[in-house]
Chain A
Amino acid sequence: DSGVTQTPKHLITATGQRVTLRCSPRSGDLSVYWYQQSLDQGLQFLIQYYNGEERAKGNILERFSAQQFPDLHSELNLSSLELGDSALYFCASSRTGGTVDTQYFGPGTRLTVL
């Protein structure tokens, strides 16, 4: 158990819908990262937050957005869902969000878009 929690574990929804994935970082970690794992794209970095502020952005679609709240949990919002958005979404956390940090990953949320 890494100490990073993600809910829900599984999510099945239809095209065009909107979902919210939630992540709680390890105690004491200030930074949260979101990654998408799919068969064709592999593991891709989406976005990073540090203490409520966006720090880095990767290959995140405009239909996707995220935020980190004052209690440091983070939510990833996916809207106008398409079949290709079906993937495993991982959240990771680290102490400072800098380059010498180690990231600890959560169990992931498996999203299926039908």
Chain B
Amino acid sequence: DAGVIQSPRHEVTEMGQEVTLRCKPISGHDYLFWYRQTMMRGLELLIYFNNNVPIDDSGMPEDRFSAKMPNASFSTLKIQPSEPRDSAVYFCASSQQGSGSYEQYFGPGTRLTVT
């Protein structure tokens, strides 16, 4: 199994530009989570999906952030317009409810730098 795949691994963009982060969860997993990690705020849950449906987006910082999951094998997190304070590492994770263990599998992350 390839694990959770994220792209790009690194993204550098200028303030005001649109940024799209991508995630492919592990096949068969029915939960998908987006996290943001910074030194100041630690690891924050932004949003999560179950069977492609957003369940809780209370962690999304503001309207500039949006996430979609058009099918079971793909999700995007979009920031428009981006700001320097959005600089962080963004992780995607997936899990399978049927496993009963609640373990989440994390991708390698996308390091976003907004200048």
> Is chain B a partner of chain A in the same complex?
no
What residues make up the interface of B, taking CB atoms closer than 8 Å to A?
Answer: none
Binding site for B on A (CB under 8 A): none
